[in-house]
Amino acid sequence: MAEWSGVPTATLARLERYRFQPQKTHAGAIRGERLSPRKGISIEFADYRHYAPGDDLRHLDWNILARLDRAYLRTYQDEQELPIHLLLDCSASMAFGEPSKFDFARTLAACLGYIALVSGDALYPVALHSQASETRALRGRVAYSRLVEWLRTRTPDGRALSQSLQRFAHANLPTGMVLLLTDGLDENLPQALRALGGRRHEVVCLQILSEAELDPDLEGDLKLIDAETGEAVEITATSGVLAEYQRRLNAHLQAIQQACRRIGAFYFQLTNRDDPVEVILKRLYPQGIVR
Based on the domain organization, do 41 and 119 belong to the same domain?
no
The answer to whether 182 touches 205, Cβ cutoff 8 Å, is yes
**pLDDT for res 46:** 64
Q: What is the mean pLDDT of residues 125-152?
A: 90
Q: How far is CA 73 from CA 4, 35, 107, 144, 169, in A?
A: 36, 19, 32, 21, 29
36-40, long-range: CB < 8 A, 24+ apart: 36/77, 36/78, 36/79, 36/80, 38/77, 38/78
CATH of the domain at 136: 3.40.50.410
In tens, the pLDDT along 22-61 reads: 987 665 544 455 544 443 334 566 677 778 766 777 778 8
**pLDDT for res 25:** 65
Based on the domain organization, do 71 and 196 belong to the same domain?
no
**pLDDT for res 55:** 72
For residue 84, the cross-strand partners are 123, 177
**pLDDT for res 160:** 83
Distance CA 48, CA 61 (A): 9
Based on the domain organization, do 163 and 238 belong to the same domain?
yes
Instruction: With cut-offs at 50, 70 and 90, classify the pLDDT of residue 123.
Output: very high
Whether 2 maps to a domain, the answer reads no
Work out how many domains the chain is built from and give that number. Answer: 2
In tens, the pLDDT along 69-84 reads: 888 887 765 456 899 9
At 263, is the secondary structure helix, strand, or coil? coil
Based on the domain organization, do 204 and 225 belong to the same domain?
yes
DSSP 166-196: HHHHTS-----EEEEEE----TTHHHHHHHH
**Share of residues in the chain with pLDDT > 70 (%):** 85
Based on the domain organization, do 187 and 278 belong to the same domain?
yes
**pLDDT for res 41:** 39
Based on the domain organization, do 99 and 219 belong to the same domain?
yes
Q: What is the mean pLDDT of residues 104-117?
A: 98
At 126, is the secondary structure helix, strand, or coil? strand
- What is the residue-averaged pLDDT of the chain? 87
Instruction: With cut-offs at 50, 70 and 90, classify the pLDDT of residue 278.
Output: very high
The answer to whether 96 touches 227, Cβ cutoff 8 Å, is yes
Q: Which of 21-25, 62-66, 130-134, 166-170 has the lowest mean pLDDT?
A: 130-134
User: Closest Cα partner for 168 from 229, 99, 83, 289?
Assistant: 83
Alpha-carbon 145 to chain mean position: 17
Based on the domain organization, do 57 and 145 belong to the same domain?
no
Whether 118 maps to a domain, the answer reads yes
φ and ψ at residue 277, rounded to 5 degrees: -65, -40
| Radius of gyration in angstroms for the set of CA atoms belonging to the chain, rounded to a whole number | 21
Q: What is the mean pLDDT of residues 15-28?
A: 82
Q: What is the mean pLDDT of residues 10-33?
A: 78
**pLDDT for res 45:** 66
pTM above 0.75, yes or no: yes
In tens, the pLDDT along 179-223 reads: 999 999 999 999 999 999 888 899 999 999 999 999 998 777 776
Residue 201 structural domain: 9-23+81-287
DSSP 216-234: ----EEEEEE-TTT--EEE
Based on the domain organization, do 108 and 55 belong to the same domain?
no
Based on the domain organization, do 51 and 155 belong to the same domain?
no
Whether 3 maps to a domain, the answer reads no
User: Closest Cα partner for 256 from 201, 194, 178?
Assistant: 194
Based on the domain organization, do 19 and 50 belong to the same domain?
no
The answer to whether 140 touches 117, Cβ cutoff 8 Å, is yes
**pLDDT for res 225:** 67
The answer to whether 27 touches 82, Cβ cutoff 8 Å, is no
Based on the domain organization, do 67 and 122 belong to the same domain?
no
Whether 1 maps to a domain, the answer reads no
Q: Is the dihedral of CA 23, 27, 30, 31 positive or negative?
A: positive
Distance CA 282, CA 234 (A): 41
Cα 50-39-17 angle, rounded to 5 deg: 65
